Amino acid sequence: MPRATYSFPNDFLWGTATAAHQVEGNNTNNDWWAWEQGEGHIKNGDKSGKACDWWNGRRWSEDFDRAAATHQNSHRFSIEWSRVQPEPDRWDEATLDRYREMLLGLKERGMNAMLTLHHFSSPIWFAEMGGWESDQAVALFNAFVRRTVEALKAHCNLWVPINEPNVYGMAGFVWGDFPPGKHDLKTGLKVIANMAKGHAAAYQTIHELQSDALVGTAINWRDFVPGDANPLSNVVVNRLHKAYNDAFTTAMVTGKFDAIYYKEDMPEAKGAQDFVGLNYYTRDYVKFNLSKPNYAENFYRKDAERSYTGFLANEPDGFRKCIRWGGQFGLPIYITENGWDDPKDDTRRIYLLDHLLAMWHEVNNNLPVKGYYHWSLVDNFEWERGWTQRFGLWGLDPATQQRVRRPSVDLYSEVCRTNSISSEAVEKWAPECYKRIFPD
């Protein structure tokens, strides 16, 4: 049996990621809470409710204890705009105090923070004013950024202004799964462009307030691959890649937003990123199909390993491509999300090890990956999919708030503790994966 250790660079950040609306609970003043009240918006009619009870019950503290006890040295979480600015002309200092307490809680546990300022949810008043479709959006968001960063900058220097702008624009304005539930491609691309301008404004504001800040994005990167030999499938793939994967982040290099169907010059965005954040989950095979929106039929390989709900396919080669794509910008790379829905924890360790090994290969190809945040620390409310998906290292019963330590916790803990994937750890915590990670 071969013995080996895949080691990661010194000072590598190992953590998990969460988002405010998904874990805090009782977020009743944002557009997602309002969306949940509408019939048919959330699978099984689920509601976020208490979520993971981080706000009223302050259970962030015990979950941070769990992360620290299992050797994570960083955590990525988000600030809920609707709590900080519940009305257009009112700021809630007690909310900022609470977030400061959370940041200090991480420090006390020897953990670094990465803060996201917009993770899908917006104040109801902002949505009613037109949200990210509005020409006022950038200025309104930047005012929130300024107030928040001024309050919290002493305890964080890694900032993500906007999470997955490509998902937000598509899911809310093209696919109709997120609020406001529209179906208009041009509007969706305009929203993503506005978010690019919002990111650029936030970048300038954060650097004005904090000289040592590092500001980047968290882009959802999907590996689009032609699903047949039809040349038109290749054309569709290239268009998807350019509009979905490239447009936002490339605007930070060129100052030009180009999503094929929507283009805009935005010179203020040029150079507005200090690192590239990558959220990677899976790969899509794509065929040209005249009957499908944008002529794209997306599917997974028939023989692919699938997550519990079938939502994801285990495609670590796509992760390697994702990291190589991030490397083109010549900036530090953080894997800001990567995870697998699996309530029984039967296959999560396979997915986790496959992807950590893929990342190790790219690190050893001299790509500057600086950290990895697994999605997620604990089961949480998965947006339009409600409670039907379980991504947590720790399981959660939303009714009782009981946490359950899944076997994947121990594997990830050993990776974090040793800063490596070792044959000893895999043999002990994921023996079913041994031969695929350490082949003869």
pLDDT digits (tens, 9 = 90+) for 383-414: 999 999 999 999 999 999 999 999 999 999 99
Domain range for 320:
5-222+270-281+305-437
Judge contact between 99 and 4, C-beta under 8 A. Answer: no
Asked whether residue 186 is domain-assigned, the answer is yes
Strands of 259-377 (E only): list them: 263-265, 275-279, 283-288, 296-299, 333-337, 369-374
Average pLDDT score over residue span 70-91: 98
Which candidate, 70, 72, 29, 21, places its Cα nearest to that of 48? 21
Judge contact between 226 and 241, C-beta under 8 A. Answer: no
Asked whether residue 297 is domain-assigned, the answer is no
pLDDT tens column, 346-365: 999 999 999 999 999 999 99
Asked whether residue 244 is domain-assigned, the answer is no
Q: What is the pLDDT of residue 216?
A: 98
- Mean pLDDT, rounded, of the chain: 97
DSSP letters spanning 191-205: HHHHHHHHHHHHHHH
Which structure tokens are listed for 67? 């992360």
Asked whether residue 385 is domain-assigned, the answer is yes
Asked whether residue 288 is domain-assigned, the answer is no
DSSP letters spanning 349-418: HHHHHHHHHHHHHHHTTT--EEEEEEB-SB----GGGTTS----SEEEETTTTEEEE-HHHHHHHHHHHH
Average pLDDT score over residue span 37-50: 98
Judge contact between 287 and 228, C-beta under 8 A. Answer: yes
Q: What is the pLDDT of residue 440?
A: 87
Asked whether residue 351 is domain-assigned, the answer is yes
| Cα(326)–Cα(192) distance, integer angstroms | 19
Number of domains, the chain? 1
Average pLDDT score over residue span 62-86: 98
**pTM recorded for the entire structure:** 0.98
pLDDT higher than 90, residue 294? no
| Cα(220)–Cα(19) distance, integer angstroms | 15
Asked whether residue 264 is domain-assigned, the answer is no
Q: CATH no. for residue 101?
A: 3.20.20.80
H or E, element range at 231: helix 231-240
| Cα(300)–Cα(430) distance, integer angstroms | 26
Query: What does residue 167 show for φ and ψ, rounded to 5 degrees?
Result: -70, -45
| Cα(272)–Cα(255) distance, integer angstroms | 9
Which amino acid type is present at position 22? Answer: Q
pLDDT higher than 90, residue 14? yes
Position of tokens 């809470």?
Answer: 33
pLDDT higher than 90, residue 292? no
Question: Which strand ranges, in their side-by-side order, compose the sheet holding 223-226?
Answer: 223-226, 283-288, 296-299
Judge contact between 279 and 338, C-beta under 8 A. Answer: yes
Which amino acid type is present at position 117? Answer: L
| Cα(170)–Cα(172) distance, integer angstroms | 6
Residue 368 CB partners (closer than 8 Å, separation 6+): 327, 331, 332, 333
Q: What is the pLDDT of residue 215?
A: 98
Which structure tokens are listed for 263? 């283009």
Asked whether residue 404 is domain-assigned, the answer is yes
